[in-house]
Amino acid sequence: MNPASASMADTRTSRPAPATTDYLAHVFAQYPIEIASGEGVWLRNSRGERILDLYGGHAVASLGYGHPAWTRALTRQAQECNFQTNAVHMQVRLRAAERLVRFSGLDFTSVFFVNSGAEANENALKLAFRMTSRPRVVAVEGAFHGRTAAAGAVTWGAKEKWYGFPRAPFDVTFIPRGDLAAVSQHIGADTAAVIVEPVQGVAGAVDLGAPFLAALRTRCNETGSLLIFDEVQCGMGRTGQPFAANLYGVTPDLLTTAKALGAGFPCAALLLSDPLAAQLKTDDLGTTFGGGPLACAMVEAVVDIIESENLLDNVRRLSAQMRETCIVGPVVAMQGAGFLAGLRTRRPARDVQRELLAHDILTGTSGDPHVVRILAPFVLDASHIAQLAATLAALPS
Ligand SMILES: Cc1ncc(COP(=O)(O)O)c(C=O)c1O
């Protein structure tokens, strides 16, 4: 047991005493741990104690820490050429786009690389407005799409909590999850786009399911609205399929992804279907850092590692093991898909998360006060799930 974490009263509010003056903006709730290093699925804190990481830095560390092929790819590209703009051709950029499209197995023909999830969504929404000349977007209750002006405008509850801009840049209608009547009622001839996380992450691993997603697809076809899947958190193998679009058999017009895409190197991508790609003109979109050679080398490496190590299969097997063995102790049910899993807890999730951390297992919470969120690295093995199950079983129910 890690005594520091065991003694903390609240997992998310205390800041460890800084070794040097702390000039960082104090805008993040903090775990009561300081991480010094990581290896595989283990983090090591500044006192040298090991912590099993089932949270992956908000779903980013999809390959864990220090994966040799990831590190080699980064080093090789840094030595070859660390940066050039999108205004010059680079083979590594072409290769990354091709690998990503092929990995998806979906009907996309074009990739625009950017730097963050919010930026990918911002560009997806901008394209939808430009290509449809319509004024309104439909989003789903509970959604999180990012903190920028457009992404924040389609994020549920942002206006009340942190939005900050004086007004949203366009009209937004939020529809309840799974409400098929609302789909017909609110998606119409004035709707530029529908944006949806197929499995909502921040909301607590809420799987929106094939019937609802298929209904969105059908209604968008009827009305000429564009369907945007935000797979920033649920994409890139996290559900055990390349994308949740594959899992549910529903292909959007635009798909955004980030987080696991670079497995720790910051990057994001917007994938476009052919009819949209065909309409793109020079200067429609732009970025300085997006599609930089380091980011592209990492996208290529991440896809390569996921495929060559059969990690999608690993996620599917181990998430099934989690469902079979982890509904114990304070956990009453499991939700979500693959390694975007929500452990529904009888007691407040925050307490269970703190107790798990006291036993050296790092997990996350969510917008649902009774869901502990698991965003584990894809390289986990059965012994780690067994450790989680045994620890949960020993907690008070
Ligand atoms: C589904 C989803 N979309 C968008 C974002 C925003 O991504 P970023 O923080 O990279 O801007 C997040 C971040 O948590 C997310 O979970």
Comparing CA positions, the residue from 291, 269, 280 lying closest to residue 88 is 291
Give the whole-angstrom CA distance, residue 94 versus residue 96.
Answer: 6
pLDDT digits (tens, 9 = 90+) for 264-301: 999 999 999 999 999 999 999 999 999 999 999 999 99
Q: Which two tokens stand for residue 229?
A: 């899947």
Per-residue confidence band for 16, with pLDDT thresholds at 50, 70 and 90: low
Q: Residues 119-147: pLDDT tens digits?
A: 999 999 999 999 999 999 999 999 999 99
Residue 159's CB is within 10 A of a number of other CB atoms, namely: 15
Helix %, strand %, coil % of the chain (to 5): 35, 20, 45
Which atom of ligand 1 lies nearest, measured to the CA of 259? 10
Candidate from 55, 162, 199, 233 with most ligand 1 atoms within 8 A of CB, to mutate: 233
The pTM (predicted TM-score) of the whole model is 0.96
Q: 202 C-alpha vs ligand 1 centroid, how far in Å?
A: 9
- Separation of CA 27 and ligand 1 centre (Å): 16
Dihedral (C-alpha) 361, 367, 368, 371: value to the nearest 10 degrees? -20
CA of 120 relative to ligand 1 center, distance in Å: 9
Joined together, the tokens standing for residue 98 give 């091709």
What separation in Å is there between the alpha carbon of 144 and the centre of ligand 1?
7
Confidence of residue 20 (pLDDT cuts 50, 70, 90): confident
CA distance 160 to 151: 15
CA dist., res. 150 & res. 47, Å (int): 42
Tell whether the model's pLDDT for residue 71 goes beyond 60. yes
Let me know: does 151 contact 193? Beta carbons within 8 Å. Answer: no
Instruction: Transcribe 185-214 into DSSP letters.
Output: HH--TTEEEEEE-SEETTTTSEE--HHHHH
CB of 274 closer than 8 Å to CB of 107:
yes
CA distance 111 to 108: 8
Q: Give distance in angstroms: CA of 84 to centre of ligand 1.
A: 26
Buried b (16+ CB within 10 A) or exposed e, 269-289: bbbbbeebeeeeeeeebebeb
Q: Please, which residues bridge with residue 136 across strands? A: 171, 191
Q: What is the pLDDT of residues 217-249, one digit of tens each?
A: 999 999 999 999 999 999 999 999 999 999 999
Atom of ligand 1 nearest to the CA of 266: 10
Using CA positions, which residue lies closest to atom 13 of ligand 1? 146
pLDDT tens digit sequence for 143-182: 999 999 999 999 999 999 999 999 999 999 999 999 999 9
Report the pocket of ligand 1 as residue ranges, CB < 6 Å: 58, 116-118, 121, 144-146, 197, 201-202, 230, 232-233, 258
Within 309-348, where are the H helices?
A: 311-325
Contacts of 212 (CB under 8 A, 6+ apart): 177, 178, 180, 183
In the sheet where 42-45 sits, what is the strand order? 35-39, 42-45, 50-53, 361-362
